[in-house]
A and B are shown apart, each in its own frame.
Chain A
Amino acid sequence: MLPVKYSVRNLARRPLRTGLTMLGIAMVVALIALLYAFQRGLTDALENAADPAVVYLVSLGAESDPIRSAIDRGQAETVANDLPGVFEDENGRHVSIEVHQVSSLILPEDAGDEKPREYTAIVRGVERSAYLLHEDVFITDGRAPRGDFEMLVGSLAADRMGLPQSRLATGERVLFEGVEWTIVGHFVAPGAPVEGELWVHLEDLMNASRRTDVTLVMAKLRDADQIDYVSLFCSDRTDLEVMMQTEKQWYANLLALMAPIALIGQALAVMVFIGGVIGATNTLYAAALARTQELAVVQTLGYQRIEVGFGLLMESMLLAAIAGIAGVAIAASVGDVSLRMPMGAYRFRASGEDVVVALIAAGLIGVLGALIPAVRIARMPLLKALAK
């Protein structure tokens, strides 16, 4: 086998070419890491966050589009009181009646304009019991809204609406549904889409929106075995006209909405990878051709063709490994990025799993990129190579 230091020295002999090739591979690896992180983060946020004992009751026919769900307020109260199998503790029944709606938010300073700029906000009207169910919600400053048109802001809400964080600071005011709301606090919900929402008191939202119906009733059951009894309740109580979805089904529906975007992400990752392989092949092929005579001399010294080809492969793998580490570092430097979703937002950041995938991609680029040049050199007749 050709000594390793021969491969290392060859990389250093042409620093500009080596540097540019490394940069190209590093960018490919960084992109692959970020695209993979995007898709993994989406799945984690929507699928893996589901609690098997949590159910959502929506109006009949609204299972695929919860915004369309409308349950009469009185019927929602009946559901909340009569639903079987609900978990109870000293705080009461873990049932939450909620309104989910999309509203156009206006900043007070723009209210006087003829056409004020509107920001699309996901607003959730809740009661105190909601904080029992949404265990992933943590208030980081201020407090929950108590009424009087107060609002609790999710940590990704500003990003989602394209507003600076300072504009939604505690004490600031915003307008929607013709009412001025005061921000009284902020919350985080790591990994959950609700982080992009604005939470207000249920009655305030219903009054401001002049609505007499709610979107859903959310309930935490004693255990997942109670789900069949909830299903039976929905079938028996035809007067309530509700149907049940498990939280897993709920998030699966949201994920389905994002499926086209995830598919584009996958396609991009594959195209970027192929581009990286082609680029590396092109560069390494040119480099190998420029060294044809040198490599022929190496053969005359007693090294086999396969050993020479393997030496080229090692150079390529070494180059790709260094570039891969650089690419991973670039991806990691991107930090926390929040992305909008149809019903919220989620935080996306490259993690350990993404690093492994990216390094494997780098390794494959190194192997595949050197394959053609290595085979070419190994098959070239010695005399012809020496004459070049």
Chain B
Amino acid sequence: MFKWISMLALIAGLSVVAACSDGGEEVDTPRGDTPAPKTDKSILGEMPEVDEAHRVTPDTLLESSPKEGDVYVMRGRISDVVSGFHQMKVVGKGNLVFCGEGDNSDDHCSTPWDYCCMDPDELKSLTVTVKFLDEAGEHPMKAKGKRGYRHLDIVDVSGTFTKGPAGDWVLNATSLKQVERPEEGSHWKWPDTVSADVSAK
């Protein structure tokens, strides 16, 4: 009997030691997955100082085209995030509400960031592609673990503008700052793209 008691005590002791040694470094854990690396700090940062003429939103780009080479700070709402890369679509805020917000509160769309409640042509004209290029400047940076941003976040993004294949604007970005995050709808179904950022408050 004494042998069994001492065996149980040993097992219990080992369990306590193992539990205590699990403290370690806090890691970001996506839903149901193994621990993920820390957020990519290289793209999150403060915005550069620019004058008002270089502060834009996607809708203001319709009125006046940006100058090539100039650094701008653009504010908008993220409507899409590319899986595996730091590239996203940003739409003009202005009076633009996403499906389920404001006067659209009766809309219980589970993917409000797709703006399906809006005219597609109008949405297209108010959308800018934002990409964070790698050091070689050719391909977008790969995203690992938590991004620090997700769909429907209002963000400031700094960078220079170029034209895309459809004549749309592309911002080659250097830094991003989260400005505002809307209250999450209970019926929203997050895409896998941002699973690590979903529970981030």
A contacts, CB < 8 Å to B: 60-61, 63, 227-229, 231-232, 235-239, 241
A231 and B114 CA atoms in complex are apart in Å by 15
Contact A238 B164 (CB under 8 A): yes
* Residue on A nearest B88 in the bound complex, by CB: A235
A187 and B21 CA atoms in complex are apart in Å by 60
Contact B120 A236 (CB under 8 A): no
Partner of A238, one of B82, B114, B129, B140: B129
* Count of residues in B whose CB is under 8 Å from the partner chain: 18
Partner of A231, one of B83, B164, B166: B83
A285 and B140 CA atoms in complex are apart in Å by 73
Chain A residues whose C-beta falls within 8 Å of the C-beta of B177 in the assembled complex:
none
Kindly name the residue among A229, A235, A239 whose own CB sees the greatest number of chain B CB atoms within 10 A: A235
Chain B residues whose C-beta falls within 8 Å of the C-beta of A236 in the assembled complex:
129, 164-165
Asked, given contacts A61-B120, A238-B165, A238-B168, whether A231 binds B129 with beta carbons under 8 Å apart, the answer is: no
Encode B50-83 as 1/0 by CB contact (under 8 A) with A: 0000000000000000000000000000001011
A322 → B minimal CB distance (Å): 44
The 3 closest A-B pairs by CB, nearest first: A228-B84, A239-B166, A238-B166
A60 and B114 CA atoms in complex are apart in Å by 9
* Residue on B nearest A235 in the bound complex, by CB: B82
Chain A residues whose C-beta falls within 8 Å of the C-beta of B80 in the assembled complex:
235
B171 → A minimal CB distance (Å): 13
Asked, given contacts A235-B89, A238-B166, A239-B166, whether A60 binds B120 with beta carbons under 8 Å apart, the answer is: yes
A368 and B86 CA atoms in complex are apart in Å by 58
Chain A residues whose C-beta falls within 8 Å of the C-beta of B116 in the assembled complex:
61
B85 → A minimal CB distance (Å): 6
For residue B158, CB closer than 8 A to chain A, the reply is: no
Given contacts A60-B120, A235-B87, A238-B166, 9 further A-B contacts (CB under 8 A): A61-B116, A228-B83, A228-B84, A228-B85, A231-B84, A231-B85, A232-B140, A238-B165, A238-B168
* Residue on B nearest A230 in the bound complex, by CB: B83
B contacts, CB < 8 Å to A: 80, 82-85, 87, 89, 114, 116, 120, 124, 129, 140, 164-166, 168, 193
Chain A residues whose C-beta falls within 8 Å of the C-beta of B114 in the assembled complex:
61, 63
A238 and B129 CA atoms in complex are apart in Å by 9
Chain B residues whose C-beta falls within 8 Å of the C-beta of A60 in the assembled complex:
120
**Interchain residue pairs with CB less than 8 A apart (8):** A61-B116, A228-B84, A229-B84, A232-B85, A235-B80, A235-B82, A238-B129, A238-B166
Contact A237 B85 (CB under 8 A): no
A72 → B minimal CB distance (Å): 13
Chain A residues whose C-beta falls within 8 Å of the C-beta of B140 in the assembled complex:
232
* Residue on A nearest B193 in the bound complex, by CB: A231
Chain B residues whose C-beta falls within 8 Å of the C-beta of A231 in the assembled complex:
82-85, 193
Contact A239 B84 (CB under 8 A): no
Chain B residues whose C-beta falls within 8 Å of the C-beta of A235 in the assembled complex:
80, 82, 87, 89, 129
B136 → A minimal CB distance (Å): 15
A240 and B185 CA atoms in complex are apart in Å by 31
A63 and B191 CA atoms in complex are apart in Å by 12
Chain B residues whose C-beta falls within 8 Å of the C-beta of A61 in the assembled complex:
114, 116, 120
A115 → B minimal CB distance (Å): 37
Contact A232 B84 (CB under 8 A): yes
* Residue on B nearest A234 in the bound complex, by CB: B82
A231 and B83 CA atoms in complex are apart in Å by 6
A257 and B61 CA atoms in complex are apart in Å by 40
Partner of A239, one of B82, B87, B165: B165
Chain A residues whose C-beta falls within 8 Å of the C-beta of B193 in the assembled complex:
231
B189 → A minimal CB distance (Å): 10
* Residue on B nearest A231 in the bound complex, by CB: B83
A152 and B130 CA atoms in complex are apart in Å by 46
A227 and B116 CA atoms in complex are apart in Å by 24
